Amino acid sequence: SDADGIISRYSSLKHEVLALRNTAGPEMSILSATILSQKPIKEELVKKIEKLHINTLQHFQKIEAICLGYSRSNISNALNELKQVYFSGYLPYRNEIFPLSKKGGPYPYSQVEFLSHGVKALKEIARFMDVVVLETKSYADYNLNENQKQILFQGASSAGSLFVVFLIMFYINSKVISPIGRLTSILRKLGKKQLVLDVPFTNKEDEIGEMAKALEIFKQTSFELSE
Protein backbone atom coordinates (compact mmCIF):
# COMPACT_ATOMS: atom_id res chain seq x y z
CA SER A 1 0.00 0.00 0.00
CA ASP A 2 1.02 3.63 -0.25
CA ALA A 3 1.35 3.63 3.55
CA ASP A 4 4.42 1.43 3.09
CA GLY A 5 5.88 3.82 0.54
CA ILE A 6 6.01 3.92 -3.23
CA ILE A 7 9.40 2.18 -3.29
CA SER A 8 7.88 -0.69 -1.34
CA ARG A 9 5.08 -0.89 -3.90
CA TYR A 10 7.58 -0.97 -6.76
CA SER A 11 9.50 -3.71 -4.96
CA SER A 12 6.34 -5.80 -4.55
CA LEU A 13 5.51 -5.25 -8.20
CA LYS A 14 8.93 -6.46 -9.34
CA HIS A 15 8.60 -9.52 -7.11
CA GLU A 16 5.24 -10.41 -8.66
CA VAL A 17 6.51 -9.92 -12.21
CA LEU A 18 9.42 -12.26 -11.52
CA ALA A 19 7.01 -14.79 -10.04
CA LEU A 20 4.81 -14.45 -13.13
CA ARG A 21 7.72 -15.22 -15.39
CA ASN A 22 8.66 -18.24 -13.23
CA THR A 23 5.17 -19.75 -13.60
CA ALA A 24 4.33 -18.81 -17.20
CA GLY A 25 7.71 -19.86 -18.60
CA PRO A 26 7.80 -23.48 -17.31
CA GLU A 27 4.21 -24.08 -18.44
CA MET A 28 5.12 -23.00 -21.98
CA SER A 29 8.24 -25.20 -21.95
CA ILE A 30 6.33 -28.31 -20.85
CA LEU A 31 3.61 -27.87 -23.48
CA SER A 32 6.19 -27.13 -26.18
CA ALA A 33 8.12 -30.31 -25.35
CA THR A 34 4.88 -32.31 -25.32
CA ILE A 35 4.00 -31.15 -28.85
CA LEU A 36 7.40 -32.28 -30.06
CA SER A 37 7.13 -35.69 -28.40
CA GLN A 38 3.69 -36.44 -29.91
CA LYS A 39 3.00 -38.52 -26.80
CA PRO A 40 0.35 -38.08 -24.11
CA ILE A 41 1.55 -35.87 -21.29
CA LYS A 42 2.18 -37.56 -17.95
CA GLU A 43 -0.34 -37.12 -15.15
CA GLU A 44 2.12 -35.38 -12.84
CA LEU A 45 2.91 -32.87 -15.58
CA VAL A 46 -0.80 -32.26 -16.12
CA LYS A 47 -1.15 -31.36 -12.44
CA LYS A 48 1.97 -29.21 -12.61
CA ILE A 49 0.66 -27.29 -15.63
CA GLU A 50 -2.69 -26.74 -13.95
CA LYS A 51 -0.97 -25.44 -10.81
CA LEU A 52 1.38 -23.22 -12.79
CA HIS A 53 -1.51 -21.76 -14.74
CA ILE A 54 -3.52 -21.01 -11.59
CA ASN A 55 -0.46 -19.31 -10.09
CA THR A 56 0.07 -17.32 -13.27
CA LEU A 57 -3.49 -15.96 -13.15
CA GLN A 58 -3.06 -15.11 -9.47
CA HIS A 59 0.12 -13.20 -10.23
CA PHE A 60 -1.72 -11.19 -12.88
CA GLN A 61 -4.41 -10.34 -10.32
CA LYS A 62 -1.81 -9.25 -7.76
CA ILE A 63 0.02 -7.15 -10.33
CA GLU A 64 -3.22 -5.40 -11.29
CA ALA A 65 -3.99 -4.75 -7.62
CA ILE A 66 -0.54 -3.27 -7.00
CA CYS A 67 -0.82 -1.07 -10.11
CA LEU A 68 -4.11 0.48 -9.00
CA GLY A 69 -3.71 4.15 -8.20
CA TYR A 70 -0.46 4.77 -10.05
CA SER A 71 -0.37 8.38 -11.19
CA ARG A 72 2.05 7.61 -14.04
CA SER A 73 0.66 5.96 -17.13
CA ASN A 74 3.80 4.09 -18.26
CA ILE A 75 3.24 1.12 -15.97
CA SER A 76 -0.50 0.94 -16.66
CA ASN A 77 0.08 1.06 -20.41
CA ALA A 78 2.79 -1.59 -20.22
CA LEU A 79 0.53 -3.82 -18.13
CA ASN A 80 -2.31 -3.47 -20.64
CA GLU A 81 0.03 -4.47 -23.46
CA LEU A 82 1.28 -7.45 -21.45
CA LYS A 83 -2.27 -8.64 -20.76
CA GLN A 84 -3.16 -8.21 -24.43
CA VAL A 85 -0.19 -10.30 -25.57
CA TYR A 86 -0.70 -13.00 -22.95
CA PHE A 87 -4.48 -13.34 -22.83
CA SER A 88 -5.23 -12.63 -26.49
CA GLY A 89 -2.02 -13.78 -28.13
CA TYR A 90 -0.80 -16.76 -26.11
CA LEU A 91 -3.64 -18.06 -23.94
CA PRO A 92 -5.99 -19.17 -26.79
CA TYR A 93 -3.20 -21.39 -28.14
CA ARG A 94 -2.45 -22.71 -24.68
CA ASN A 95 -6.10 -23.51 -23.95
CA GLU A 96 -6.38 -25.41 -27.23
CA ILE A 97 -3.10 -27.31 -26.92
CA PHE A 98 -3.37 -28.33 -23.26
CA PRO A 99 -6.44 -30.66 -23.55
CA LEU A 100 -4.97 -32.26 -26.68
CA SER A 101 -1.67 -32.87 -24.92
CA LYS A 102 -3.40 -35.34 -22.60
CA LYS A 103 -4.05 -37.50 -25.67
CA GLY A 104 -0.78 -36.82 -27.43
CA GLY A 105 -2.37 -34.85 -30.25
CA PRO A 106 -3.05 -34.32 -33.01
CA TYR A 107 -2.30 -30.60 -32.69
CA PRO A 108 -3.67 -27.86 -34.95
CA TYR A 109 -0.44 -25.87 -34.57
CA SER A 110 3.21 -26.72 -34.88
CA GLN A 111 5.55 -26.54 -31.93
CA VAL A 112 7.30 -23.57 -33.57
CA GLU A 113 4.05 -21.62 -33.96
CA PHE A 114 2.94 -22.35 -30.40
CA LEU A 115 6.35 -21.49 -28.98
CA SER A 116 6.53 -18.24 -30.93
CA HIS A 117 3.43 -16.96 -29.10
CA GLY A 118 4.86 -18.15 -25.79
CA VAL A 119 8.19 -16.44 -26.41
CA LYS A 120 6.39 -13.24 -27.35
CA ALA A 121 4.50 -13.35 -24.05
CA LEU A 122 7.73 -13.92 -22.11
CA LYS A 123 9.38 -11.01 -23.92
CA GLU A 124 6.44 -8.82 -22.99
CA ILE A 125 6.84 -9.86 -19.34
CA ALA A 126 10.52 -8.87 -19.56
CA ARG A 127 9.58 -5.56 -21.19
CA PHE A 128 7.07 -4.88 -18.44
CA MET A 129 9.80 -5.55 -15.87
CA ASP A 130 12.05 -3.05 -17.67
CA VAL A 131 9.32 -0.42 -17.43
CA VAL A 132 8.90 -1.10 -13.71
CA VAL A 133 12.66 -0.82 -13.15
CA LEU A 134 12.87 2.44 -15.11
CA GLU A 135 9.91 3.90 -13.23
CA THR A 136 11.49 2.88 -9.92
CA LYS A 137 14.77 4.54 -10.90
CA SER A 138 12.96 7.64 -12.13
CA TYR A 139 11.01 7.92 -8.87
CA ALA A 140 14.15 7.37 -6.78
CA ASP A 141 16.14 9.94 -8.80
CA TYR A 142 13.34 12.49 -8.51
CA ASN A 143 13.10 12.08 -4.75
CA LEU A 144 16.88 12.16 -4.43
CA ASN A 145 16.96 15.48 -6.31
CA GLU A 146 14.13 16.83 -4.16
CA ASN A 147 15.92 15.77 -0.98
CA GLN A 148 19.13 17.39 -2.20
CA LYS A 149 17.21 20.60 -2.90
CA GLN A 150 15.74 20.47 0.60
CA ILE A 151 19.18 19.93 2.11
CA LEU A 152 20.62 22.84 0.11
CA PHE A 153 17.67 25.04 1.07
CA GLN A 154 17.98 24.15 4.74
CA GLY A 155 21.73 24.68 4.58
CA ALA A 156 21.25 28.09 2.97
CA SER A 157 18.58 28.97 5.54
CA SER A 158 20.88 27.95 8.38
CA ALA A 159 23.76 29.93 6.89
CA GLY A 160 21.45 32.93 6.47
CA SER A 161 20.27 32.63 10.07
CA LEU A 162 23.87 32.45 11.31
CA PHE A 163 24.73 35.50 9.24
CA VAL A 164 21.80 37.44 10.72
CA VAL A 165 22.88 36.41 14.23
CA PHE A 166 26.41 37.54 13.41
CA LEU A 167 25.13 40.93 12.22
CA ILE A 168 23.04 41.32 15.36
CA MET A 169 25.98 40.44 17.60
CA PHE A 170 28.22 42.80 15.61
CA TYR A 171 25.66 45.58 15.98
CA ILE A 172 25.23 44.97 19.71
CA ASN A 173 28.98 44.88 20.21
CA SER A 174 29.66 48.07 18.23
CA LYS A 175 26.66 50.03 19.48
CA VAL A 176 26.33 48.84 23.07
CA ILE A 177 29.05 46.61 24.49
CA SER A 178 32.06 48.49 23.11
CA PRO A 179 30.73 51.99 24.06
CA ILE A 180 29.86 50.77 27.55
CA GLY A 181 33.36 49.36 27.88
CA ARG A 182 34.92 52.68 26.86
CA LEU A 183 32.70 54.63 29.24
CA THR A 184 33.51 52.20 32.05
CA SER A 185 37.22 52.73 31.40
CA ILE A 186 36.75 56.51 31.55
CA LEU A 187 34.79 56.18 34.80
CA ARG A 188 37.71 54.27 36.34
CA LYS A 189 40.14 57.01 35.24
CA LEU A 190 37.87 59.70 36.68
CA GLY A 191 37.77 57.72 39.90
CA LYS A 192 41.57 57.95 39.97
CA LYS A 193 41.38 61.75 39.51
CA GLN A 194 42.54 61.56 35.87
CA LEU A 195 40.39 64.49 34.76
CA VAL A 196 42.17 65.48 31.57
CA LEU A 197 40.35 63.30 29.10
CA ASP A 198 37.54 63.47 26.59
CA VAL A 199 34.23 61.73 27.21
CA PRO A 200 32.99 60.18 23.94
CA PHE A 201 29.40 59.64 22.79
CA THR A 202 28.03 62.81 24.43
CA ASN A 203 26.37 63.75 21.14
CA LYS A 204 24.38 60.49 20.96
CA GLU A 205 20.65 60.65 21.67
CA ASP A 206 20.25 57.24 23.34
CA GLU A 207 21.10 55.44 26.58
CA ILE A 208 24.80 55.45 25.72
CA GLY A 209 24.62 59.21 25.16
CA GLU A 210 22.88 59.70 28.51
CA MET A 211 25.62 57.72 30.27
CA ALA A 212 28.29 59.78 28.47
CA LYS A 213 26.61 63.06 29.45
CA ALA A 214 26.40 61.88 33.05
CA LEU A 215 30.15 61.14 32.99
CA GLU A 216 30.81 64.56 31.47
CA ILE A 217 28.89 66.17 34.32
CA PHE A 218 30.81 64.02 36.81
CA LYS A 219 34.09 65.12 35.19
CA GLN A 220 33.15 68.82 35.36
CA THR A 221 32.09 68.46 38.97
CA SER A 222 35.37 66.77 39.80
CA PHE A 223 37.24 69.70 38.16
CA GLU A 224 35.36 72.22 40.25
CA LEU A 225 35.99 70.31 43.45
CA SER A 226 39.68 69.93 42.69
CA GLU A 227 40.26 73.68 42.27
Q: What is the pLDDT of residues 122-133, one digit of tens each?
A: 999 999 999 888
75, containing H or E segment: helix 73-83
182-199: pLDDT as tens digits: 878 877 877 777 767 787
88-104: pLDDT as tens digits: 999 999 999 999 999 98
Relative orientation angle of helices 111-172 and 73-83, to the nearest 10 degrees: 170
- Looking at residue 1, its pLDDT comes to 43
**Rounded Cα gap, residues 47 and 42, in angstroms:** 9
Predicted TM-score (pTM) of the model is 0.64
Which of the 8 DSSP states describes residue 42? P
For residue 187, the one-letter residue type is L
- Tell me how crowded residue 134 is: count the other CB atoms within 10 A of its CB: 13
Q: Which of 66-80, 94-108, 135-149, 183-197 has the highest mean pLDDT?
A: 94-108
- Looking at residue 215, its pLDDT comes to 76
161-183: pLDDT as tens digits: 777 777 778 777 777 788 888 87
